[in-house]
Amino acid sequence: MPAHDVLIIGAGLAGQRAALAAARAGATVAIMSKVHPVRSHSNAAAGGINAALNPDDSWESHAFDTVKGSDYLGDQDAIEIMCREAPNEVLWLEHAGVTFHRNAEGKLGTRAFGGASAARTYYIADITGQALLHVLYEQMMKHHEQIDRYEEWFITGLLQDDAGNCTGAVARNIRDGSMEIFAAKSTILASGGAGQCFKPTTNALICTGDGIAQAFRIGAPLMDMEMIQYHPTTLAGNGILITEGARGEGAHLYNAKGERFMEKYAPNKMELASRDVVSRAEQTEINEGRGFPDGTVALDITKVPRKRTLEALREIVNIGRDFAGVDITREPIHIRPGCHYIMGGVKSDVWGATPITGLYAAGEVACVSVHGGNRLGANSLLDTLIFGRRAGEHAAERAGHMTMPTPSRAALNDQAREIEQIMQRSGGRRVSEIRDELGTMMNEKVAVFRDEQGLTEAHEVVRRLKEEAKTATIDDRGTVFNQDVLGALELGYMLDVAECIVVAALERKESRGAQFRTDYPKRNDEEWLKHIDLSRNGDDVPKVSYSPVTITKWEPQERVY
């Protein structure tokens, strides 16, 4: 049985940063992912990473922008930590080898981003996430003696001892189907978001909410689950992302009548208002018949000098050409709001610790909550790195004071039996069918605009799909790279997560951040300036409770851009 001080599940930016921090603190570390680390979805974060590093900028300004962006649902103690520590984190990355864009003097250069009062986004062309991910992986290769990498291993469940402490995980080696128990003093979930609950989505196929559901299943509460960010600029049909960097560089939005409609919705910040604001504006234009026939509006990047576009937005020039057949330097591209990010997740504190002793969460899987009702662009990379590092440090520190747990093999046997049983099923619906129905339905009823009726229907559908999933069938009965059986397990995770999203969205009877209820169109601080927490309640509907929002120095104000 492999045993490590710190076991990290997920190897995107949060996981890799946690691994490097834990190893540096002297812990033995295992990092595990269902894909090779450089395939992780952190790749997709194109635009950049925020930090108040310029002498004329301040962390307070960054923190206020984040608080305001969150529609005052973010916990301000956590936001302060993130924004204070951001400059040093960016410098750490630079020293580790990240090829950040430089200004003419050879110093780090910035670009503007949505919802920010200063240009404080550091970037590498428009492959920032990819460049960070690959440089962290360079560092993981460098520290290969301290960090054991388990690449292409799939977690089937977290382990708990009799006292309820997390003691590691059970995993299946995707290459040969073998199962193994991984004992760990501390376990860090860094397995990313759950965008695949929606279809289309900007999220990769691997973003199936595994960690959120795994934590939920062993009793960890989830928080802010109703807060799903719709990104303002995604391609219709396949949901591929056009970075906010485009608007940061000066691109404009137009409706089908050629009106620059953001003038009506955010006269000051225009296209660079918060994402929830811009997405709602677009959806309103489309719903009121001022969109294009394919249900889109236009993003016009020809406003940006061509040279600049080719230098700084290289990747979306490619995306426009390859995935929409459009030369974005010459003509506008049709876009629409698309599911992009889940602000909610496993409730965790400023060290990543969850209420389950020994279990940590960092990155998109977690909810600290620094994003509250709406995440600012270029704050997600920052979140993964700051809280990944903090979780790694804290988990290693904790491991230093305890003995290695010795989990029993019972859980492994149960989970092996469950997999065996999935492979034996016949006669049910195909897993892929249920998954498609779920995603399409969520994108219809739990999207930019929501109401009681739609959400109630959504909940009924999710409950039905949960039943159907119990008998859903697959084709592959093999052991080597049986992606089919993993798809069935992922479907189970997605359904758990989807139910929590719907239940929380039904619960919050106000409009705040990404949650817009047409039946409760106003923000209601008196009743709803609080987090919604959900915990597992057997097979029944998740149990709802509330927790207060931490406010340090920024009292809620009206939010205008």
Partner 1 sequence: MPEYTLRIRRYSPESGEAAHFEDFNIELDGHRSVLDGILQAKDRQDGSIGIRCSCRAAICGSCGVRINGKPNLACHTHLDKAYETAVDGVIVVEPMGNMPVLKDLIVDMDSVHWKKIHRVTPWLLPEGEPPEREYIVPPESMIDITQTMACIQCGACVSDCLSMEVDPLFIGPAALAKAYRFVGDPRDGQHAERLRDLAEDEHGIYDCTHCFNCIEACPKGVAPMSQIMRLRRIAGSDHGIDDRNNGHRHEMAFVKNIEKNGLLHEADLLPDSYGGKFHPRAVPELVSSLPVILRALQRGKVTPGKALLHPHKAPKEVKRIFRDIHDREERYELNLYVVGEEDEPESGESVAQADAAGGHLPAERSPNQ
Three-state secondary-structure class, residue 532: strand
Stretch (H or E) spanning 281: helix 275-287
- Rounded distance between C-alpha atoms, residue 123 and residue 293, angstroms: 35
- 361, 341 Cβ separation under 8 angstroms: no
- 223, 531 Cβ separation under 8 angstroms: yes
Nearer residue to partner 1 within complex by CB, 483 or 552? 483
CB of 89 to partner 1, least distance (A): 13
What is the DSSP-derived secondary structure letter of residue 181? E
Amino acid at site 249: E
Residue by residue, DSSP assigns 84-117 as HHHHHHHHHHHHHT----B-TTSSB-EE--TT-S
CB of 39 to partner 1, least distance (A): 4
Six-digit token pair at 440?
Answer: 């399409």
CB of 106 to partner 1, least distance (A): 4
Amino acid at site 66: T
Nearer residue to partner 1 within complex by CB, 160 or 309? 309
Residue 84 catalytic?
Answer: no
Which of the residues 149, 275, 523, 559 is marked catalytic?
275
Six-digit token pair at 512?
Answer: 């705040």
Nearer residue to partner 1 within complex by CB, 87 or 513? 87
Sign of dihedral through CA atoms 171, 177, 179, 182?
negative
Among residues 216, 167, 209, 173, which one has the least CA distance to residue 6? 167
- 145, 25 Cβ separation under 8 angstroms: no
CB of 203 to partner 1, least distance (A): 9
CB of 67 to partner 1, least distance (A): 27
- Rounded distance between C-alpha atoms, residue 114 and residue 304, angstroms: 16
- Rounded distance between C-alpha atoms, residue 162 and residue 141, angstroms: 37
CB of 131 to partner 1, least distance (A): 5
CB of 14 to partner 1, least distance (A): 17
Nearer residue to partner 1 within complex by CB, 460 or 475? 475
Nearer residue to partner 1 within complex by CB, 175 or 464? 175
- 195, 234 Cβ separation under 8 angstroms: no
Chain centroid to CA 12: how far?
11
Stretch (H or E) spanning 262: helix 262-265
Nearer residue to partner 1 within complex by CB, 206 or 399? 206
CB of 483 to partner 1, least distance (A): 6
Sign of dihedral through CA atoms 367, 269, 114, 67?
negative
Which conformational region is residue 345 in: left (phi greater than 0), alpha (psi within -120 to 50 degrees), or beta?
left
First to last CA, the chain: 55
Phi, psi of 302 (to 5 degrees): -65, -15
Nearer residue to partner 1 within complex by CB, 395 or 495? 495
Nearer residue to partner 1 within complex by CB, 340 or 523? 340
- Rounded distance between C-alpha atoms, residue 225 and residue 393, angstroms: 27
Question: Strand pairing of 179-189 and 359-361?
Answer: parallel
- Total residues found in the chain within this entry: 561
Strand partners, 173: 153
Q: Give the CA radius of gyration of the chain.
A: 22
- Rounded distance between C-alpha atoms, residue 320 and residue 205, angstroms: 21
CB of 389 to partner 1, least distance (A): 17
Nearer residue to partner 1 within complex by CB, 131 or 489? 131
Active site residues: 275
